[in-house]
Amino acid sequence: MWSIIIPIVTLIVGGIGGFFVGVFYLRKQMEKMQSNPEMLQQMAKQMGYNLNKQQLAKAQQMMKSQKFKK
């Protein structure tokens, strides 16, 4: 019976832990993009958008208004 319960509990705990690590990593990346316009430009190009300087400044302004910190 324990050979069934332990793997299921381990899977659930690992999934929850992985989720929180992923959220932490994503928040750190978003904070870096706020101060680095090249990184924001690269992300936009990967998504298929080509931002000019005005659009890039507006995107940075929007990101700075968001609260990524806890």
CA dist 66 and 56 (Å) reads 16
- Cα 21 to its chain centre, rounded Å, is 10
pLDDT given for residue 40 in this prediction? 81
- Residuewise pLDDT in 10s, the chain (70 residues): 889 999 999 999 999 999 999 999 988 888 877 777 888 888 888 888 888 888 888 888 887 777 655 4
pLDDT given for residue 64 in this prediction? 76
pTM: 0.57
Hey, what are 18's tokens? 């992985």
pLDDT given for residue 21 in this prediction? 97
pLDDT given for residue 24 in this prediction? 94
Alpha helices in the chain (DSSP H): 2-35, 37-46, 53-65
